[in-house]
């Protein structure tokens, strides 16, 4: 599935999480590294994930007025669950605002479900992110449903079922 992230859709995604406040450049960098992890956690190379990661990176860097080159690239991505958990904790600790944490969670979710499959490692990553970002289950469900409906109007059942698997 190709999630189109045009200016209007991106603005609405920001409204879901940020309520008008913009995360700091440091938070944006951490959010984008979380996005990199989400896009790369599944070893399957997916064009839609790469395209969406590029769009998210461009839009968030533009929002924060930072150069894309200022976002460190996570390489290599951890393949071990323990290393991944430590990285999640480290990155989540750099996202200090509620809006930033919620945006990180939404972005990770959208990257993970862009291929319409939720592998065990992806589900594990989302659960770990939810805990590390201090997002309770009710709020997580609400964020995922709103984001899903926004980026795929009429396809609620496809993405909604992926959110229900969490």
Q: Any idea how long the chain is?
A: 166
pLDDT > 80? residue 136: yes
What region does 46 belong to: left with phi over 0, alpha with psi -120 to 50, or beta?
beta
pLDDT > 60? residue 126: yes
Dihedral angle sign, alpha carbons of residues 110, 115, 118, 121: negative
CB hemisphere CA count around 135 (13 angstroms): 27
In this predicted structure, which of 75-84, 126-135, 157-166 has the lowest mean pLDDT? 157-166
Alpha carbons 61 and 16: distance in angstroms, whole number: 18
pLDDT > 90? residue 116: no
Q: Indicate the average pLDDT of the chain.
A: 87
Which of the four pLDDT bands, split at 50, 70 and 90, describes residue 18? confident
Q: What is the pTM of this model?
A: 0.88
pLDDT at 7: 84
**pLDDT > 70 fraction of the chain, expressed in percent and rounded:** 90
Taking Cα atoms as reference points, which of 73, 156, 163, 90 lies closest to residue 129?
90
pLDDT at 155: 52
Alpha carbons 85 and 124: distance in angstroms, whole number: 9
pLDDT at 65: 95
Evaluate whether 28 touches 60 at the Cβ level (below 8 Å): yes
In this predicted structure, which of 103-107, 110-114, 132-136 has the lowest mean pLDDT? 110-114
Task: Give the pLDDT confidence of 34-66 residue by residue, as tens digits.
Answer: 999 999 998 777 788 889 999 999 999 999 999
Evaluate whether 9 touches 52 at the Cβ level (below 8 Å): no
pLDDT at 159: 47
**pLDDT > 90 fraction of the chain, expressed in percent and rounded:** 60
């Amino acid at each position: 599935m190709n999630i189109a992230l045009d200016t209007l859709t991106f603005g609405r995604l920001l409204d879901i999480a940020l309520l008008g406040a913009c995360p700091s450049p440091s938070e944006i960098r951490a959010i984008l590294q979380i996005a990199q992890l989400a896009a790369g956690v599944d070893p399957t190379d997916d064009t839609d994930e790469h395209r969406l990661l590029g769009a998210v990176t461009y839009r968030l860097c533009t929002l924060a007025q930072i150069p894309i080159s200022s976002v460190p690239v996570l390489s290599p991505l951890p393949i071990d669950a323990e290393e991944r958990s430590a990285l999640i904790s480290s990155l989540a600790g750099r996202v200090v605002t509620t809006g930033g944490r919620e945006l990180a969670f939404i972005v990770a979710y959208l990257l993970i479900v862009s291929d319409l499959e939720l592998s065990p490692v992806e589900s594990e990553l989302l659960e770990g992110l939810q805990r590390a970002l201090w997002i309770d289950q009710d709020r997580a469900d609400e964020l995922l449903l709103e984001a899903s409906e926004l980026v795929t109007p009429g396809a609620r059942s496809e993405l909604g079922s992926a959110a229900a698997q969490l």
